[in-house]
A and B are shown apart, each in its own frame.
Chain A
């Protein structure tokens, strides 16, 4: 016999403002199967939970409904409370009378009636719930970290230091990411390389880290705790086990004309190269498109000079499979490449700034390389067109950020700070130079951040103009920057020697493909979606996959590092157990009924249903059937919807339950 408890939450005023909770409680007390019904101001609080536990005990409840917020928010809380009192947690249901009712309806009478309907449905459902126990699956205590920028490095080192093996995959020939190329960092102006390269060396030498550079994640199979990841190690043409990194090869290479990716085209590199001297691993790769030995079969100078015999022109891509239990995605960002062909026609704008046409209009990362001690000019600021020292530099904020018409609607967050930094670095290098900044608003929230911007303005004399730049043109070797100062209320024209565009931060190339391989969601801009913006910021909706750094949204270094440690912490929590428990609310196939049409196999988004055969003892085939792999099933219910013979069922959401809920409305 059903003994259901109904617990109605006020959620402070969130629910009680538009739902008459007391009246609701009276109505619900008489529903069939309901033993008791009471309300409380904050049901999720400790006294609220104690109230629930007390009632479970007193009334010997065998099912309960909490009418409050979304189950995303607190289903786990209430299930735990029930479990502590010996009630199977899967006999707890929630009726969402906040998001689905009080927040969206403001007529008290109608909202109360709707809340009553929602509770009636939940009661009808919970009466047909089964006690379930979590599924236990084994756990591989190794982690994969994708991306070797500062976030990936931090996450990998944290997990490895905790004693777990880490596989770190980086697309470029070296780890270090964008941060390795930065000059100095805000708000302290400490040297980026000085703080990052020791961490890179730690990664390279850590006994628990297996590093794959120049490699991509090709495929991901399996499920939380038991992923099988295929990694494509691209042909490097250099055997890094033999190579000593002496440098004879890249010094010998006659083709030194390829624009350096690490310098964002501000410098040149050879066809065989290490991206920068402090690279980890400090071993070269051969650019197959630039090397004449690989394109035309002529040259081979590097191989002749290599004393270790490490160069192998016949090198091929290699596919490696790694088993891991958790995945951390830290693929980072890129700057919006304006002035190029864009896949999306909406992003074709900003031709009027002449990026790509005028050599002295560059983006902020290119500027970083021009003022970096490790950059192509050795840290001396010389403009790209003629090598002259620029006496007037204009920095433009929000190129594509906060721009609904022809860019991204979001704020790229870090540009205000690095623009201030750039004006300072510039002034420190060119004492008689003048820096100008065009900005929409200065967003300098963060510890010591606003002070830093004030320093740029007050001590280093940067001229800030609040307004947009309409056009950049070139006349007599000068860049004519025409804009407006909306505070002064007048147009501004500046004859500049160098213009630096703070273009919008976008997710790194290929992140959408990767997200699809991992079943991780992403927004319209390609930033990966966290599970909950406040309470689950590094988890994703794919179990066992975590995100950190700028792949999740624009972020500066301290935030990326903090988030990376958070993601690593989540991985360690997962690895602190010997096995993983998974929600038992998954699909099953009635194998007697199954007609083996395998529609479900094709429909399942998680590849969790396989074709199986039922044989008798003598090994004779009796019938074929579909079968759910409980380790993979995410309980989405797609198979239930498509099955023509109605032999698929979703535990915790059976068709009986759904029909009962619908009928209860009648």
Chain B
């Protein structure tokens, strides 16, 4: 199955381990990721903080390319990207005048045929039954704390995905594959996100709380579906440990890592060996 793929900046840059994981995992499921030709920035936080038109036009250009190239589904594994793409798509679907204006700006027709999926949704699209039948290994040694962060489920009016206050889709998926996700409290709390660049102290504080709560509820790893979350929880974990003088050693997996392992892939094929918190 061919599917449109929007990597965004993170998966081609600092989080290319995430791309490796997603490609390996979906490849094992027979999903061929076709990277969009000439995709551009989703606008991220910057665009919608400064210019509403730009916040629609940037994702709209990539959506129009996906449409032109005939992709019905577009995977954006980064939740910032998928949220921006979906928000633009929703705004365009609602307002004909805006649609015409933006189509002129991006110099491509916009009909809204392409649907944007996050990483969890692509697994849901493949189907839990099918995933289960392809699995060669049970994930029973994993007791993950499923961490959704902010943008995977918000804003709910645009995303219409899972319960924004109490999401359960990752838990459902991983339990099917034999893992035992824990009930915990920080599923949708903020990890500090981009403050990691300018106000590291806040990120250390917030991420420390998330990791501690996961550990307190018996998790032996955290599962994320966001490159930013992974940076703050995994890459910054050593700093957190140093700052608080405590040892967490909490492994942080991408969702595609665990699904990939269930499908029989080796950790190294999924790029797990490139995470900062070492896997014993």
Interface residues of A (CB under 8 A from B): 348-352, 357, 405, 470-471, 473-475, 480
Nearest-CB distance from B189 to chain A (Å)?
Answer: 9
16 extra interface residue pairs, beta carbon distance < 8 Å, beyond A349-B163, A470-B165, A475-B216: A348-B163, A349-B165, A350-B165, A351-B163, A351-B166, A351-B168, A352-B166, A357-B183, A405-B156, A471-B185, A473-B184, A473-B185, A473-B186, A474-B185, A475-B185, A475-B213
Residue of B nearest to A470 (CB): B165
Residue of A nearest to B168 (CB): A351
Chain A residues within an 8 Å CB radius of B184: 473
Nearest-CB distance from B170 to chain A (Å)?
Answer: 14
- CB–CB B185/A480 < 8 A: yes
Residue of A nearest to B163 (CB): A351
- CB–CB A351/B185 < 8 A: no
26 contacts between A and B (CB under 8 A): A348-B163, A349-B163, A349-B165, A349-B166, A350-B165, A350-B166, A351-B163, A351-B165, A351-B166, A351-B168, A352-B165, A352-B166, A357-B183, A405-B156, A470-B165, A471-B165, A471-B185, A473-B184, A473-B185, A473-B186, A473-B213, A474-B185, A475-B185, A475-B213, A475-B216, A480-B185
- The distance in angstroms between the C-alpha atoms of A6 and B6, with both chains bound, is 73
Nearest-CB distance from A261 to chain B (Å)?
Answer: 28
- The distance in angstroms between the C-alpha atoms of A470 and B186, with both chains bound, is 12
Nearest-CB distance from B160 to chain A (Å)?
Answer: 11
Q: How many residues of B contact A (CB 8 A)?
A: 11
Which residues between 109 and 164 of chain B lie within 8 Å of chain A, taking CB atoms? 156, 163
Chain B residues within an 8 Å CB radius of A352: 165-166
- The distance in angstroms between the C-alpha atoms of A187 and B149, with both chains bound, is 45
Residue of A nearest to B183 (CB): A357
Chain B residues within an 8 Å CB radius of A470: 165
- The distance in angstroms between the C-alpha atoms of A348 and B185, with both chains bound, is 19
Nearest-CB distance from A86 to chain B (Å)?
Answer: 63
Chain A residues within an 8 Å CB radius of B185: 471, 473-475, 480
Chain A residues within an 8 Å CB radius of B213: 473, 475
Chain B residues within an 8 Å CB radius of A471: 165, 185
- The distance in angstroms between the C-alpha atoms of A318 and B166, with both chains bound, is 46
Chain A residues within an 8 Å CB radius of B186: 473
Q: Mark B37-66, 1 if CB is under 8 A from A, else 0.
A: 000000000000000000000000000000
Nearest-CB distance from A341 to chain B (Å)?
Answer: 13
Nearest-CB distance from B183 to chain A (Å)?
Answer: 7
- The distance in angstroms between the C-alpha atoms of A405 and B157, with both chains bound, is 9
6 tightest A-B contacts by CB? A351-B166, A473-B185, A352-B165, A352-B166, A351-B163, A349-B163
Chain A residues within an 8 Å CB radius of B166: 349-352
Chain B residues within an 8 Å CB radius of A348: 163
- The distance in angstroms between the C-alpha atoms of A405 and B213, with both chains bound, is 29
- The distance in angstroms between the C-alpha atoms of A470 and B164, with both chains bound, is 11
Chain B residues within an 8 Å CB radius of A351: 163, 165-166, 168
- The distance in angstroms between the C-alpha atoms of A350 and B213, with both chains bound, is 21
- The distance in angstroms between the C-alpha atoms of A163 and B252, with both chains bound, is 77
Nearest-CB distance from A73 to chain B (Å)?
Answer: 41
Nearest-CB distance from A164 to chain B (Å)?
Answer: 52
- The distance in angstroms between the C-alpha atoms of A590 and B183, with both chains bound, is 71
Nearest-CB distance from B171 to chain A (Å)?
Answer: 12
Nearest-CB distance from A306 to chain B (Å)?
Answer: 47
- The distance in angstroms between the C-alpha atoms of A253 and B54, with both chains bound, is 73
- The distance in angstroms between the C-alpha atoms of A203 and B213, with both chains bound, is 56
Nearest-CB distance from A632 to chain B (Å)?
Answer: 48
- The distance in angstroms between the C-alpha atoms of A350 and B163, with both chains bound, is 9
Chain B residues within an 8 Å CB radius of A405: 156
- The distance in angstroms between the C-alpha atoms of A357 and B156, with both chains bound, is 24
Chain B residues within an 8 Å CB radius of A473: 184-186, 213
- The distance in angstroms between the C-alpha atoms of A473 and B186, with both chains bound, is 9
Residue of B nearest to A349 (CB): B163
- The distance in angstroms between the C-alpha atoms of A403 and B145, with both chains bound, is 30
Chain A residues within an 8 Å CB radius of B216: 475
Residue of A nearest to B156 (CB): A405
Q: Mark B198-227, 1 if CB is under 8 A from A, else 0.
A: 000000000000000100100000000000
Nearest-CB distance from A300 to chain B (Å)?
Answer: 43
Residue of A nearest to B166 (CB): A351
- The distance in angstroms between the C-alpha atoms of A475 and B184, with both chains bound, is 9
Residue of B nearest to A348 (CB): B163
Chain A residues within an 8 Å CB radius of B165: 349-352, 470-471
Nearest-CB distance from B109 to chain A (Å)?
Answer: 34
Q: Mark B166-181, 1 if CB is under 8 A from A, else 0.
A: 1010000000000000
Chain B residues within an 8 Å CB radius of A474: 185
Nearest-CB distance from B149 to chain A (Å)?
Answer: 15
Of B163, B168, B184, most A-chain CB atoms within 10 Å: B163
Residue of B nearest to A472 (CB): B185
Nearest-CB distance from B247 to chain A (Å)?
Answer: 20
Residue of A nearest to B186 (CB): A473
Chain A residues within an 8 Å CB radius of B183: 357
Chain A residues within an 8 Å CB radius of B156: 405
- The distance in angstroms between the C-alpha atoms of A348 and B165, with both chains bound, is 11
Which residues between 70 and 110 of chain B lie within 8 Å of chain A, taking CB atoms? none
Nearest-CB distance from A545 to chain B (Å)?
Answer: 40
- The distance in angstroms between the C-alpha atoms of A352 and B189, with both chains bound, is 12
- The distance in angstroms between the C-alpha atoms of A471 and B156, with both chains bound, is 17
Nearest-CB distance from A472 to chain B (Å)?
Answer: 9
- The distance in angstroms between the C-alpha atoms of A348 and B166, with both chains bound, is 10
Nearest-CB distance from B210 to chain A (Å)?
Answer: 12
Chain B residues within an 8 Å CB radius of A350: 165-166
Of B156, B168, B185, B186, most A-chain CB atoms within 10 Å: B185
- The distance in angstroms between the C-alpha atoms of A349 and B167, with both chains bound, is 10
Residue of A nearest to B212 (CB): A475
Chain B residues within an 8 Å CB radius of A357: 183
Chain B residues within an 8 Å CB radius of A475: 185, 213, 216
- The distance in angstroms between the C-alpha atoms of A473 and B216, with both chains bound, is 12
Chain A residues within an 8 Å CB radius of B168: 351
Nearest-CB distance from B92 to chain A (Å)?
Answer: 23
- The distance in angstroms between the C-alpha atoms of A474 and B156, with both chains bound, is 25
- The distance in angstroms between the C-alpha atoms of A465 and B213, with both chains bound, is 26
- The distance in angstroms between the C-alpha atoms of A473 and B184, with both chains bound, is 8
Nearest-CB distance from B190 to chain A (Å)?
Answer: 12
Chain A residues within an 8 Å CB radius of B163: 348-349, 351
Nearest-CB distance from A213 to chain B (Å)?
Answer: 40
Nearest-CB distance from A597 to chain B (Å)?
Answer: 49
Nearest-CB distance from B73 to chain A (Å)?
Answer: 24
